[in-house]
Amino acid sequence: MSETRISEHLEAFGLSATEVETYLAVLRRGEATTGDVAAAADVSQGYVYDVAEALVDRGLVTVDEGASPTVLRARPAAEAVADLSTRVSDLQSAIADVYSEPAAADVGFEVVRSRRTVERRAERFLADATHEAFVVVPATAFASVRDAMAAAVDRGVFVYCLLLAPDTDVVADAVDDFGRYAHVVRTWEARPQVFVLRDARAGLVGSHGVLTGRHGDEYAVTVGQPEVANGFYGNMVSNVWPMGEARHVADPPELPATFEYFRNGVTTAAQYLAADRDLVADLTVADTGGDHELDFEGVPVREANQTLVPPVTSSFPVENALVVETDSGPVSVGGDSPGFDPYFEDFAARRVTLRAA
């Protein structure tokens, strides 16, 4: 029974059946010549030398080549098992370094304590972004997410980035072209919470130290509910984003342009209005007081109220709306974001086309 269990375990460790039989031949005797082992394992003596090297590598036997003939000796059980245990521990550490425990897509909550896993979650949210992403991280963590940010920008995602202490100026000054990574970049020499949010649907929030410390009590929470993600967005855009110093603002997209994600349209309109460019908009909107829909075509854009690009034009931090001139007078239009309906504006719109007047 013992030999059967040894065989099963060693084969699970990757030893071949011949290697296991050779090892058992040595183990039964404690030590044996290559000739004895060859006879017991029913292999050629030359092959025993090849197998012996594999068993030495596994820490199971030693080879005394000074003896004539050569002698194989089984290592004591405690030493052999300790060596295998060390390999298992090394494997566990290696897996922990590489492994990113899967989280259910956009549902529930997940607490993450490993810095590398937080980085991987941030990369995943950026990879999943289709319209918008906010990245608020220590400057020292920028290198871990910048490739995912660049890929998002290449896909047409509006990326907003705030780099935090430590080494904020050092990192920011070393970046040649922030436009590769984000549409808007700010820096703040402070240590608030970190955020990575995408499309007002999902993201993570965590203590600053989760991306700067090493295995302390810090952690991050990932979420997949739009209502919670919007709550994190409100916290970030109210208390953190405004504190940053502007380092880079990309030019707005050329017009005409259609935006399936309303906030991107508001940001673009704000940039054109700040440059004294007149705009008109085509929108299909719903009355926030009921289900009735209207089409506004070619209506002049009078205001773009927002906080994401300078100058700030909103009356409260999370405001993101267009004021357009209709036949009935000016009306305010907000975005119909996942999880929330506009509560301050007259109308909600999911799509807007902006054109030069």
Tens-digit pLDDT profile for residues 92-150: 766 666 655 554 455 567 888 888 889 989 999 999 999 999 999 999 999 999 999 99
Structure confidence by residue, pLDDT tens digits, 236-288: 999 999 999 999 999 999 999 999 999 999 999 999 999 999 999 999 888 87
Please give the C-alpha separations between residue 352 and each of 159, 255, 263, 290, 314, in angstroms, as whole numbers. Answer: 19, 12, 10, 20, 19
Q: What is the DSSP letter of 328?
A: T
Measured CA to CA, the distance from residue 268 to residue 121 in angstroms comes to 29
- Report residue 137 CA to chain centroid gap: 12
- The DSSP bridge partners found for residue 235 are none
Mean predicted confidence (pLDDT) in 282-308: 89
List the one residue out of 333, 356, 183 whose CA is nearest residue 256.
356
Mean per-residue pLDDT for 15-27? 87
Confidence grade of residue 214 (pLDDT, cut at 50, 70, 90):
low
Whose tokens are 């080494």? That residue is 167
Structural domains of the chain, with CATH: 2-98 (1.10.10.10), 109-249 (3.30.870.10), 257-356 (2.30.30.690)
pLDDT for the residue numbered 215 = 56
Whole-structure pTM value: 0.70
Mean pLDDT, residues 194-218: 88
Number of CB atoms found within 10 A of residue 246's CB: 11
Residue 228 confidence (pLDDT) above 60: yes
Residue 175 has pLDDT above 80, yes or no: yes
What does DSSP say about strands 158-164 and 132-138: parallel, antiparallel, or unpaired? parallel
Choose from 2-11, 204-213, 329-338 the range with maximum mean pLDDT.
204-213
Q: Given this model, what pLDDT does residue 213 score?
A: 74
| Main-chain dihedrals φ then ψ at residue 36, nearest 5 degrees | -60, -45
The single residue listed with the structure tokens 């209207």 is: 294
> Token match 């608020």: residue?
136
Element (H, E) at 203: strand 202-206
Backbone angles phi, psi at 84, to 5 degrees: -65, -40
* Beta bridge partner(s), residue 214: none
Q: With contact defined as beta carbons under 8 Å apart, do 322 and 281 qualify?
A: yes
Among candidates 171, 169, 165, 226, which has minimal Cα distance to 194? 165
Rounded-to-integer distance, Cα 185 and Cα 325, Å? 32
3-state secondary structure (DSSP) of residue 345: coil
Residue 340: its pLDDT value, please? 64
**Amino acid 339: pLDDT:** 58
Task: Give Cβ neighbours of residue 322 (< 8 Å, ≥ 6 apart).
Answer: 265, 266, 269, 281, 283, 301, 303, 304, 305, 332, 333, 352
pLDDT at 104: 46
Distance CA 149, CA 80 (A): 48
**Could you tell me if 181 and 150 are in contact, meaning their C-beta atoms sit under 8 angstroms apart?**
yes
Taking the C-alpha atoms of residue 236 and residue 95, their distance in angstroms, rounded to an integer, is 34
Question: The tokens 């004539």 sit on which residue?
Answer: 68
Query: What's the mean per-residue pLDDT of the chain?
Result: 88
- Which pLDDT value is given to residue 101? 54
Please tell me which residue, 27 or 288, carries the higher pLDDT value. Answer: 27
Q: Are 109 and 221 in contact (CB under 8 A)?
A: yes
Separation between Cα atoms, residue 325 and residue 320, nearest integer Å: 17
Question: Facing residues of 48 across strands?
Answer: none
- Do the Cβ atoms of 223 and 121 come closer than 8 Å? no
Give residue-wise pLDDT tens across range 37-89: 888 888 787 788 888 888 888 888 888 877 778 888 988 888 888 777 777 77
